[in-house]
Structure 1
Amino acid sequence: MMKQYCLALDLKDDPELINEYKKYHAKGNVWPQVIDSIKQAGIIDMQIYLLGNRLFMTVVATDDFSFAQKQQMDLMNNKVQEWEALMSTFQQALPGYDLGSKWQLMERVFDLNE
């Protein structure tokens, strides 16, 4: 079985920065070390959507996936840390949250199949 997560984060409200962020995430532009790290953590699928400056990310992962374990893996990966530092130049905290926590896990409030 798999788990699905939805997360949100804001970009700085600057059209030039948003366009640059989109270029970094265009097909083939995400650094291969970052892609490898995502897959090694047990993430099967990840998609990011944009509306204005609000990002919405879906994650499908294996049952044994853990955000805490992924964070520990990322801390030991210099290339992932470099990518995260670069992405932080485009990002800002959601209202009411600290940027140090970046992506915020969203609560599911409706499921058509339940």
Structure 2
Amino acid sequence: MTHYLLCDLKDDPRLIAEYESYHAPGNAWPEITASIRAAGITDMQIFRAGNRLVMVMETDDTYSPERQAEMNAGNPKVREWEALMDTYQQRLPFAEQGVKWVPAHRIFKL
């Protein structure tokens, strides 16, 4: 299944460059990529336009957002990574309390 999620970065060129550096090939912490795969995510890509991020995830049948949240909560390295990423990210103005990456809903398909 394909999932699309949105998040914003703080609109600061220095912070955006640092965020991109953390996500450059080979720079994401290995514990983070391992936890992503363990959650049932088979592919993940993040795109940026201005300070808006779009994450595209491909998942297998074992994936559920609730399961991933539970796994992340029990993983100190993921919590450390998320705290670090909070330095760069900001919630969308319409995001529900506690939601960083907001799911996008398809409204058109050709």
Q: Which residue of 2 aligns with 1:25?
A: 23
Q: Which residue of 2 aligns with 1:91?
A: 89
Q: Partners in 1 of 2:93 and 2:63 — Cα distance?
A: 28
Q: Partners in 2 of 1:99 and 1:92 — Cα distance?
A: 12
Q: Partners in 1 of 2:89 and 2:97 — Cα distance?
A: 8
TM (norm. structure 2) is 0.96
Question: Which of 89, 103, 106 is matched with 1:105 structurally?
Answer: 103
Aligned residues: 110
CA offsets, 1:56-112, max 9 Å, x none?
A: 000000023100000000001000100000000101111222562100000011222
Q: Which residue of 2 aligns with 1:5?
A: 3
Relative to 1, partners in 2 of residues 1:56 and 1:50: Cα closer, same or farther, differing over 3 Å?
A: same
Question: Which of 28, 33, 36 is matched with 1:35 structurally?
Answer: 33
Q: Following TM superposition, by how much is the alpha carbon of 1:13 offset from its aligned partner in structure 2, in angstroms?
A: 0.4
Q: Partners in 2 of 1:105 and 1:82 — Cα distance?
A: 23
Q: Which runs of 5+ in 1 are unaligned?
A: none
Secondary structure of 1:59's counterpart equals strand
Residue identity matched to 2:6: A
Residue identity matched to 1:70: Q
Secondary structure of 1:108's counterpart equals coil
Residue identity matched to 1:52: G
Q: Percent identity?
A: 50
Q: Which runs of 5+ in 2 are unaligned?
A: none
TM (norm. structure 1) is 0.93
Residue identity matched to 2:25: K
